[in-house]
């Protein structure tokens, strides 16, 4: 089960992980993305801030069906001035958590923009819609939100403040990410997989252990980073 949490620092992450997945958090500024992350990870979180890219990376180790899964959560800034860097956020993501604030209509309306952008880069990955801050107004849980229905996406009512459904949300997202990675039919994913295997084979010939260290650099290296 994904609930078994181990402190990432206690594990030499790559070495013991059966697999690794990348989950991205999308949504407007101040909908509570970071607060949700922190509520899920509690004390064990050691985020790595890459403020120039308006990105916070959280590493997490989960157990899914008896396998150790290394999870990279990419928590992104909603601000418009970072829009040009988004291509690298989406790159090779396996699942998406898309958050809005039940107190602010504009954050709900903007879901369509986020979703369009997501599908442009990742047409197939599982996506969960999250209505956050239900502690501020519990009545919203008795209302229907057509956005999720329209795109047949699961809708979770959560509160980062009191904790309602936060752990369930993340554990479900991890499961979806793992199952997507295992079963993906996406053409681009297959190419990436091929490239990755190719790279691994090469590195095994050269320096066997290099691949696992400094994995934090991997995203910007491989992704279309603003530098390249």
Binding site for other proteins (CB under 8 A): 3, 28-30, 32, 35, 42-43, 78-80, 103-106, 108-110, 112, 135-136, 140-150, 155, 157, 159-168
> For residue 208, with 0-12 CB atoms within 10 Å meaning exposed, 13-18 middle and 19 or more buried, which class applies?
exposed
Nearer to other proteins, 165 or 220 (CB): 165
Nearest-approach distance from CB 161 to other proteins, in angstroms: 4
Partner residues linked to 99 by β-bridges: 27, 130
CA distance 64 to 171: 9
Nearer to other proteins, 17 or 24 (CB): 24
CA distance 32 to 49: 17
8 A C-beta contact, residue 112 and residue 95: no
Nearest-approach distance from CB 105 to other proteins, in angstroms: 5
b/e sequence 9-34, b meaning 16+ C-beta within 10 Å: eeeebeeebeebbbbbbbbbeebbbb
8 A C-beta contact, residue 74 and residue 34: no
Nearer to other proteins, 17 or 36 (CB): 36
Nearest-approach distance from CB 16 to other proteins, in angstroms: 24
Nearer to other proteins, 67 or 143 (CB): 143
Nearer to other proteins, 17 or 64 (CB): 64
Nearest-approach distance from CB 204 to other proteins, in angstroms: 40
CA distance 3 to 69: 12
Nearest-approach distance from CB 3 to other proteins, in angstroms: 7
CA distance 149 to 69: 30
Nearer to other proteins, 17 or 99 (CB): 99
Nearest-approach distance from CB 108 to other proteins, in angstroms: 5
In degrees, to the nearest 5, what angle opens at C-alpha 10 toward C-alphas 8 and 13?
Answer: 55
* Structure-token match 């181990």, residue found: 6
């Amino acid at each position: 089960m994904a609930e078994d949490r181990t402190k990432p620092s206690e594990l030499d992450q790559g070495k013991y992980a059966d697999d690794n997945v990348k989950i991205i958090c999308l949504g407007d500024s101040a909908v509570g993305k970071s607060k949700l992350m922190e509520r899920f990870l509690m004390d064990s979180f050691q985020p790595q801030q890459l403020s120039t890219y308006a990105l916070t990376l959280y590493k997490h180790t989960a157990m899914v069906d008896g396998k150790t899964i290394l999870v990279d959560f990419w928590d992104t800034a909603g601000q418009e001035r970072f829009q040009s860097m988004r291509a690298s956020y989406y790159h090779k993501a396996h699942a998406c958590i898309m958050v809005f604030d039940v107190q602010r209509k504009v954050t709900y309306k903007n879901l369509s923009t986020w979703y369009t952008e997501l599908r442009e880069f990742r047409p197939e990955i599982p996506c969960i819609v999250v209505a956050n801050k239900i502690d501020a107004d519990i009545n919203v849980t008795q209302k229907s939100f057509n956005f999720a229905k329209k795109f047949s996406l699961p809708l979770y009512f959560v509160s980062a403040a009191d904790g309602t459904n936060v752990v369930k949300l993340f554990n479900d997202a991890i499961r979806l990410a793992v199952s997507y990675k295992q079963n993906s039919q996406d053409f681009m994913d297959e190419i990436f997989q091929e490239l990755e295997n190719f790279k691994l084979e090469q590195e095994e010939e050269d320096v066997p252990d290099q691949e696992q260290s400094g994995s934090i650099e991997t995203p910007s290296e491989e992704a279309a980073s603003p530098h390249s």
